[in-house]
Amino acid sequence: MDVDDATPRPGDLLAELVRQDLDPLSVAELEARITALEGEIARCRLKMDRAVNHRASADALFRR
């Protein structure tokens, strides 16, 4: 078995997260989960913004 085969893919982790049963979680645990997810959303948005800005900079550079 290859080491890469044992590493979960990001999509697999997301699918697992979405399927997780929330019933056993307390209100505090749900709040902590929401806080963590909001942090991850902010991190993803920042990455997207940087990618868009990088692409725009590259496009502007090569149009000259």
Global pTM reads 0.66
Task: Give the domain ranges of the chain.
Answer: 27-64
Task: Please report, as a single letter, which amino acid is at residue 32.
Answer: A
- Please give the pLDDT value at position 2: 61
Q: How far apart are CA 32 and CA 20, in angstroms?
A: 15
**In sequence order, what are the residues at sequence separation of 6 or more whose Cβ sits closer than 8 angstroms to the Cβ of residue 8?**
16
Residue 1 has pLDDT above 60, yes or no: no
The pLDDT assigned to 59 comes to: 77
4-53 pLDDT, tens per residue? 667 777 779 899 999 999 999 999 999 999 999 999 999 999 999 999 88
CB 25 within 8 A of CB 33: yes
Contact 22, 30 (CB under 8 A): yes
